Amino acid sequence: MDNENWKPETALVSVSDKAGIVPFCQGLVAQGVTIYSTGGTAKALRAGEVPVTDVSEFLRNSLRTFLERHGVDEEKITVILEETGGEFLGDRVKTLSREISAGLLARYTEKDLAEIERIGVPSIDIVVVNYYPLTKTIATAGVTREQVIDGTDIGGPTMMRSGAKGRRILVPHPECYDEVLVWLRDGMPNADAFITEGVAEAEFGVAGYALASAEYHGAGTFAGLLGRRAANCKYGETPYMKPAALYACEPADPLALQKFTLVDGDAPSFVNWTDIDSMLQTITHIAAAYDVARDNVPKIAVGVKHGNACGTSQTPDAESAEITACTGMLDGDRIAVFGGLVMLNYDVDATLATTLRTHAIIEGKRLLDGVIAPSFSEEAIAILGRKGGKCRCMANPALGALRLSSLDIAQRFRPTRGSFLKQPNYTFVLDLNDPRVVIHGELSDADRTNILLAWAIGATSTSNTITLVRYGMVIANAVGQQDRVGAAQLAIMRARRSGHDTRGATAYSDSFFPFPDGQQVLLDAGVRAVVQPGGSIRDDEGIAAAQAAGVTMYLTGTRHFFH
């Protein structure tokens, strides 16, 4: 505001979510603000003993002033007011009027203020509006188009956009109430920046509301992605990619990236965030598979490098299960995990932190870029710390309660040149009792345990993937290969490089073997079981080869691969 002595005198209040609205408006009244409101909101304010003027009365007074200034007699004024002076078309038209718009759009100049005064309209200084819950209505089972239309707010977004153009004090949701009251009581410091922030917030809210409506009525023709900046990154994937940031768009998801708290270390980089997202896909699929099969999620440790698991282990609840899962993960590939990130579904104490830094290290300590867990003890943070904050300790209690329901169900977007792709998320979970599953051979309980882990790792790694699991730990994960033979050969090489015996291991392939040669590499290495979707015209040849070698072939019937 140009006038530093200016103070708001009026507020227009119309809210669907009435939480906290009474004490907020009491606070406004205490600062000399006149409240104008509509139907249900006005009723709630009166019940809370907040003095309020109905918007319909506001409109009638404006119209009366205009008519009187033009010499219309009282009898005609009464008739006109009865026909046009308030709400009409039921609930559809309450605040949609020239007068309300004028009160919101008038600039704080002598000319504009004099112009609205001539028609009996005061400047509306504060806009307190939240909308009918359209997304909730759309998500309701069996909802009809008429119900969606009736549940679409028009007046609210119109007032917010008018208030944004008029640079009013905008209050778009209950979370803003305390902040606005404190700001007003403190004399409105940095008013221009505060109002600009409110304008951006309001426009963002309107954009999301309109997008939800467009997506519903367009029935797939339109799609969009809106986000709120949650964290800045020093740069993107490489140093010249600036600026870069994390934007939050799923606020209700307890495992959304913005819900992870940095408890120690430098701010996560762009690649750290992408690795955390990959780890979440992997660890939630492991948890979901065991939840379905065993109704019991084990202790899980996942080590990731460049978005793919390079070491993973699971251990059922038992004494020292946390340490066993951790050492199994580290032993999977001691070279690759160096400098990587680790995610656990259990808390980190000093003993576990020491294991992460020193297990199987002959000299010095293992360097990690980050550890992500439900929580950390103070001692653990000190042990994991690296010079320059290069080991990020990030906490999210939701990691300690992973279940089938923890899978990410939000739509997946991928930017492409001048466009983007959209698809459902990776929500398939391998069920050992699924009727689509065909088993050729015998499986022990240990085999089944290994199958679940191998599937969850391979299915959430970059295709083409061959994953090897033995004794409940990943001993090799060969990812991103252009052919199955190369992937199988790489898996065997990586396992042996880390000192693992491939005999008796379970092998998972994220797609079928188009020829028997890739599978034969695994059979020659002594694997005990091969898990694959099946679907090749040469499946019979692969099954026969496996049976001849005494190897169980497990056909899941469902492809699940990640690119």
* DSSP annotation string for 383-400: HH--GGG-SEEEE-GGGG
The single-letter DSSP state of residue 306 is: T
Residues 446 and 392 in one domain: no
Question: Amino acid letter at 368?
Answer: L
Question: Which whole-number Å values give the CA distances from 176 to 39, 50, 128, 180, 202, in the listed order?
Answer: 22, 19, 10, 6, 12
Backbone angles phi, psi at 558, to 5 degrees: -140, 125
Of 492, 485, 493, 437, nearest to 464 (Cα)? 485
The total number of residues shown for the chain amounts to 563
How many folded domains does the chain comprise? 3
Residues 255, 259, 263: CA angle, nearest 5 degrees? 120
Last residue of a domain, one of 218, 240, 261: 218
Residues 205 and 255 in one domain: no
* Alpha carbon 386 to its chain's center: 29
Residues 236 and 359 in one domain: yes
Answer yes or no: is 14 within a domain: yes
Answer yes or no: is 25 within a domain: yes
Here the tokens at position 432 are: 């050992």
Residues 108 and 53 in one domain: yes
Of 507, 445, 515, nearest to 478 (Cα)? 507
pLDDT value, residue 2: 52
| Cα 508 from Cα 533, distance rounded (Å) | 9
- 376 neighbors 329 (Cβ within 8 angstroms): no
Residues 356 and 381 in one domain: yes
Residues 358 and 444 in one domain: no
Cβ count near 45 (within 10 Å) = 23
Answer yes or no: is 430 within a domain: no
Answer yes or no: is 152 within a domain: yes
Answer yes or no: is 419 within a domain: no
Answer yes or no: is 424 within a domain: no
Residues 370 and 516 in one domain: no
Answer yes or no: is 429 within a domain: no
pLDDT value, residue 80: 65
| Cα 429 from Cα 534, distance rounded (Å) | 16
Cβ count near 462 (within 10 Å) = 17
The single-letter DSSP state of residue 269 is: P
Of 179, 365, 178, 4, nearest to 356 (Cα)? 365
Residues 113 and 261 in one domain: no
pLDDT value, residue 95: 64
pLDDT value, residue 90: 65
Last residue of a domain, one of 218, 249, 265: 218
Here the tokens at position 449 are: 């345990």
pLDDT value, residue 148: 94
Per residue in 464-505, pLDDT tens?
999 999 999 999 999 999 999 999 999 999 999 999 999 999
Residues 263 and 139 in one domain: no
Stretches where the chain sits below pLDDT 70 are 1-4, 77, 80-96
Residues 389 and 516 in one domain: no
**pTM, entire model:** 0.90
Range of the domain at 279: 232-406
Last residue of a domain, one of 169, 189, 218: 218
Residues 242 and 209 in one domain: no
Residues 33 and 182 in one domain: yes
CATH of the domain at 335: 3.40.140.20
| Cα 388 from Cα 82, distance rounded (Å) | 73
Per residue in 196-245, pLDDT tens?
999 999 999 999 999 999 999 999 999 999 999 999 999 999 999 999 99
Answer yes or no: is 371 within a domain: yes
